[in-house]
Structure 1
Amino acid sequence: MSHTQTVLVKSTDTSVIQAASTALSELDGYRLIYCEDDKSASSRLDELKIDLIFYDLDPKNFGPDNALTQSRLSHAACSRIVVCSNAEMADGARVCEDTASYLYLIKPLAEKQIRMAVKRALEHAELSRRHRLLSRELKLSLDEDMFGKTESGSVQGGVSRFERLVYASSKMAEVVAEAKVAATTDMPVLIRGATGTGKELLARAIHFNSNRANSPMHSQNCGGVSDDALYSELFGHVRGGFPGAIADRLGLFRAADGGTVFLDEVSEVSPQFQVALLRFLQEGEVKPLGSDKTLNSDVRIIAASNRSIEEMVEKGQFRRDLYYRLKGFQLELPALKDRKEDIPVLTNFFVEKYAGVVGRRVLGVTTEVLNKLENFPFPGNVRELETEVQRLVAVAEQGGYIALRHLSEKISNAPTPNDESTDFMPSGATLKEKVESLEQAILTQSLTACHWNQSKVADELGISRVGLANKIKRYGLRKG
């Protein structure tokens, strides 16, 4: 196996867990992630690149929002294997068929059986993926001018991934390379990046590629939270520790013992809370609010900020000693406008993601659309691009292409460096003549760009083919 395959094992049966862990070893290229219920399994699907779900069926707790059904809709490339008891065979067969799972296995499980079934399921998934891409490339080869000479989603590759982070730029490759090194250590990590660049995705990728992967990871946004509330969330409190404390709270530091705590917007904590955080990083001690007892917790801290903490230190707004504690590794996520090479691969990734969710089959994204997206500043970064693509998929026609007319107004009206319309002055004396001159120029440009493929031009301009033919005749346009 050329690269690591991630298998999500959803089970509470110790015999199933033991058999899977023995059969699918790290030496053979497998990484196992364990979940006890559908809620945590669904979270892992959104946090990691899961290649296969090994799902132990419990018919009594198999609701409509189960992770297996969700994966079929939103993670179509993920393989599925159902495990059931002999008494549940009928349910297992039905669930296997309903969720398009590769097969179902009957307990007790043999290690060789698991190893072979998983290997065949992953091979089948890879062949299906290549078939889809080759079929798509065959279809798009007829439309080279519309989609460019190379397809970023080709079988040959060109797209890199770090769990749910997708990229093609050298800037992101450098960040991910350092993040992978950080993942092999227990040192704190400080991530800086503008809102929407993917700081939490990077933090989760680091956690799930560390030796803490099968321990909890909890997140806390520190922005706009009072000291008492933040202390209670992280360190916990005891009943009666303050007015309104009607029950004990464990606190995230103790809840994530052995795992990771992600602190977003850490730059916003008060100077007083910075002292408590520094003490925890130094000693690993947790003293719940209202308690005299000091406990210990072993967690790794990954912090993030959209501000430069280094500049805040120089201005006396952030403790220097805490800053040095947090930045065991310091990673800088570039804004999307500074890594435009990632926009096409992210666009295709989000198209595949949302086309599956809404049940639409989108054939592709035109070069003109990608050009518009690549030259839009995206102040909201990747998050804003994802929202735009989600809307594009929703408004695109079933089985059609995403074209310029589908873009939101703010993006379609934004100027691009290749936009020649600002230099064009229509000829004619009257308004009618000027409009006709402009229409003729647009038609000529589109027909030339599409090598006089009138179906493409009509689709791109949002008019019927008959209407286009009438305009060609009216203006006396000829193929050059």
Structure 2
Amino acid sequence: MKHVLTCKHNLHCEKHMRTERPNDGRVVLVVDDEPQVRASLTRCLREDYQVLAADSAAAAFEILDRSPVDLILCDQLMPETSGVEFFARTRVTHPEAIRILITGYTDPEDMIRSINEAAVYQFIPKPWQPDHLLLTIKRALESRELARRHRFLSRELKFADDVLRRENDVLVRQLQDVYHFDRLVFVSDAMAQVCNLARKAAATDLPVLIQGETGTGKELMARAIHFFSRRNTFPFMAQNCGALPDDMLHSELFGHKRGAFTGAISDRLGLFPAADSGTVFLDEISEVSQSFQVSLLRFLQEGEVKPLGSDETRHCNLRIIAASNRPLKELVEQGKFRQDLYFRLRGFELQMPPLRERPDDIPLLAEHAARKYGETINRKIAGISSEALRLLRAHPFPGNVRELENEIRRMVALAEDGEFLSAKHMSPEFTCLSPDKADAAMAALLQGSRTLKQKVEALEAELVMQSLLRHRWNHSRAAKELGLSRVGLANKIKRYKLDQKQAQASRR
């Protein structure tokens, strides 16, 4: 049976009414079937809030559909429905409104069930105290406002790093006669053609497939495309697909619900929903399994995300940029990659040229890296000597730009402040490939009184040795360069008695 408000409560409310406090414009809906209780609650609240009253759940829904409401105050016992059932419906139809239940029952199990079913913010026991009621409402509205501000600030902070990076790129001093595409630096025609195509791709929302060897700058290219696109004010997120099994990769990209698998102790949003309206970079896309390729294909077709352990789907508006260091077309022909997914990913297809095919970029990249790493350790580098540049240009760079940057970082660390980077600062595998020494060795082979067969064999041995040195004695890469099989290369090494240590020592 309902508790009736006492005269003491009414007197307390009348005393509170006489305290002049301006109405802050927030709307409170009072739902109770007893006129006396509605009147008492209205008198208690109207000095601080705009109060609307309803005598039933149906009348309350009419008010909610007609007017925005910040907080709902409802009695648990009503003729046609309970307060918990009413709140369970409003949780779906009007989730932004805070729900406070007035009840004479304080069973802990009922309270927990009500919180889970109807998202009740707080319970007010009967007989209610005006001060307690007003303080609870005040705190509830403050919490909602803090939550709203937190969501706003979180979104702003999430974009802050990308915005600052983009603004810093605009302020960077432009190098004379040098092309720039975000943080990609180049002068070669090969890279200029790729970047010109990337600029055109950035102006669209089509997926982009970037292919090239490890270390050629595929992720830098993806970031450049994002920052030159219309999505540049939204997040750019990257995920290496080759480092995770299917379940973990699905969780990273699509998210999961609590309890979806062992160790899922809380909900996870996933990269696709988190980067909504932005760009997601999927590196090593060639390494994903056939089953995950199906999930990714459906997302590319429908834009739908379904977290692990959930029956609900949501739509995400994303741009996908994928990268692979293995040719996807060959994998498709071998049946290791889905053809329909390949065609979905290659809205634009960019092929990053390896560094050995664009030697004109090596001096520029070396000087750029030397200046950048010198600044990080507060060391001034006067420049790079011509001898060192010749040695760098002679190196095949199987690790591409990443290998070049690592070598320059090492040279900067060994150099003194204000010193030129020279051959003495370089690693042994770079100094053993001096172009002058190679030319002198070739000239010596062609001279002398040896027979043609002996000169041809000596020249062949020298060519094999130089290829092995360029590729750091990697038989697979050297054989590919020479057009030989691994067995054929091994036979020539054995025939000419080529030794790695002795060859490196003789060229120093």
TM-score range, shorter chain: 0.5 to 0.7
Give the gaps of 5 or more residues in structure 1: 1-13, 15-33, 53-77, 79-125, 130-152, 426-480
For 2:348 and 2:167, how far apart are their aligned partners in 1? Answer: 22
**Residue 394 (structure 1) aligned with residue 413 (structure 2):** yes
SS in 2 for 1:36: helix
Corresponding position of 2:209? 190
Counterpart mapping for 1:326-365 below 5 A = 326-365=345-384
| C-alpha distance 35-369 of structure 1, shift in aligned 2 (>3 A) | farther
1:102-139: CA deviations, max 9, x gaps? xxxxxxxxxxxxxxxxxxxxxxxx6xx8xxxxxxxxxx
Shift of 1:415: 4.0
1:14-25 to structure 2, matched below 5 A, reads: none
SS at match of 1:239: coil
Q: CA offset at residue 36 of structure 1?
A: 3.4
Matches within 5 A, 1:385-464: 385-416=404-435, 419-422=438-441
State how far apart, in whole Å, the 2-side matches of 1:350 and 1:35 are.
32
Q: Does residue 36 in structure 1 map to residue 157 in structure 2?
A: yes
Q: 1:384 pairs with 403, 420, 430, which one?
A: 403
User: Which of 310, 335, 338 matches 2:329?
Assistant: 310
- Tell me if the contact between 1:35 and 1:41 (Cα under 8 Å) persists in the aligned partners: no
The alpha-carbon distance between structure 1 residues 48 and 391, as it changes in their structure 2 partners (threshold 3 A), is: farther
TM-score (norm 2): 0.55
- Corresponding residue for residue 228 of structure 1: 247
CA–CA separation in structure 1 for the residues paired with 2:397 and 2:167: 25
- Matched letter for residue 252 of structure 1: L
What are the within-5 Å matches in structure 2 for residues 36-115 of structure 1? Answer: 36=157, 41=161, 45=165, 50-52=169-171, 78=172
Q: Which runs of 5+ in 2 are unaligned?
A: 1-148, 150-154, 445-508
Map Cα deviations across residues 293-323 of structure 1 (whole Å, 9 max, x no partner). 0111011000000001011111111111100
* Higher-Rg member (1/2): 2
Residue 297 (structure 1) aligned to one of 316, 334, 351: 316
CA shift, 1:420, in A, is 4.2
User: Aligned equivalents of 1:202 and 1:423: distance in 2?
Assistant: 40
1:254 to 268, 273, 280: 273
What is the correspondence of 1:271-282 to structure 2 with a 5 Å cutoff? 271-282=290-301
339, 357, 371: which one pairs with 2:390?
371
Is the 8 Å Cα contact of residues 234 and 253 (structure 1) preserved in structure 2? Answer: yes
* Aligned-CA RMSD value: 2.3
CA gap of 1:44–1:393, structure 2 versus 1, over 3 A, is farther
Aligned residue type for 1:199: K
User: 1:43, CA displacement in angstroms?
Assistant: 9.3
Residue aligned with 1:220, SS: strand
Contact 1:48/1:163 (<8 A) preserved: no
Q: TM-score, normalised by structure 1?
A: 0.58
Which amino acid in structure 2 is aligned with residue 306 of structure 1?
N
| Aligned counterpart for 1:212 among listed residues 215, 223, 231 | 231
String of CA shifts for 1:357-405, please: whole Å, max 9, x gaps: 1111111111111111011011110000001111111111211111111
Equivalents in 2 of 1:332, 1:420: separation in Å?
33
Counterpart Cα distance in 1 of 2:342 and 2:162: 34
1:202 to 2:221 alignment: yes
CA contact (8 A) 2:163 2:233 kept: no
User: Is the partner of 2:435 in helix, strand or coil?
Assistant: coil
Partner secondary structure for residue 244 of structure 1: coil
Query: Following the alignment from structure 1 to structure 2, what is the Cα–Cα distance between the partners of residues 352 and 300?
Result: 34
How far, CA to CA, are the matches of 1:365 and 1:359 in structure 2? 17
* Mapped contact 2:162–2:235 kept (Cα < 8 A): no
Offset at residue 325 of structure 1 (A): 0.3
Identical-pair percentage: 52
Alpha-carbon offset, residue 224 of structure 1: 3.4
Q: Distance in 2 between matches of 1:298 and 1:262?
A: 14
CA distance in 1, matches of 2:236, 2:287: 21
Partners of 1:424 and 1:418 in 2: how far apart? 10
In the aligned structure 1, how far is the partner of 2:385 from the partner of 2:163?
33
Deviation, 1:422, is 2.7
Higher relative contact order (CA 8 A, sep 6+): 1
Query: What count of residue pairs does the alignment treat as equivalent?
Result: 291
Query: Aligned AA for 1:191?
Result: I
How has the CA–CA distance of structure 1 residues 189 and 243 changed in structure 2, closer, same or farther, with 3 Å as cutoff? Answer: same
Q: Are the equivalent residues in 1 in contact too, given 2:251–2:268 (CA < 8 A)?
A: yes
- 3-state SS of 2:242 partner: coil
Maintained 8 Å contact 1:48/1:164: no
Quick check: 1:48–1:205 contact (8 Å CA) kept in 2? no
Of 161, 180, 195, the residue aligned with 2:199 is 180
Q: 2:179 aligns with which of 133, 156, 160?
A: 160
- Offset at residue 279 of structure 1 (A): 0.2
Q: Kindly indicate whether the alpha-carbon contact (under 8 Å) linking 2:184 and 2:220 is maintained by their aligned counterparts in 1.
A: yes
Q: Is the 8 A contact 2:250 2:308 kept in 1?
A: yes
Is the CA contact 1:340–1:374 (under 8 Å) kept in the aligned structure 2?
yes
2: distance between equivalents of 1:40 and 1:419? 52
The one-letter code matched in structure 2 to 1:250 is L
Change beyond 3 A, Cα 1:417–1:336 = farther
**How many Å apart are 1:356 and its aligned residue?**
0.8
Please tell me the residue identity of whatever aligns with 2:157: E
- Structure 1 residue ranges, 4+ long, deviating more than 6 angstroms after superposition: none
* Greater alpha carbon shift after TM alignment, 359-368 vs 161-170: 359-368
CA distance in 2, matches of 1:167, 1:228: 40
SS at match of 1:178: helix
Q: CA 1:347–1:410 in 2, change beyond 3 Å: closer, same or farther?
A: same
Which residue identity does 2:401 align to in structure 1? V
Q: Would the alpha carbon gap of residues 188 and 230 (structure 1) be closer, same or farther in structure 2, given more than 3 Å must change?
A: same
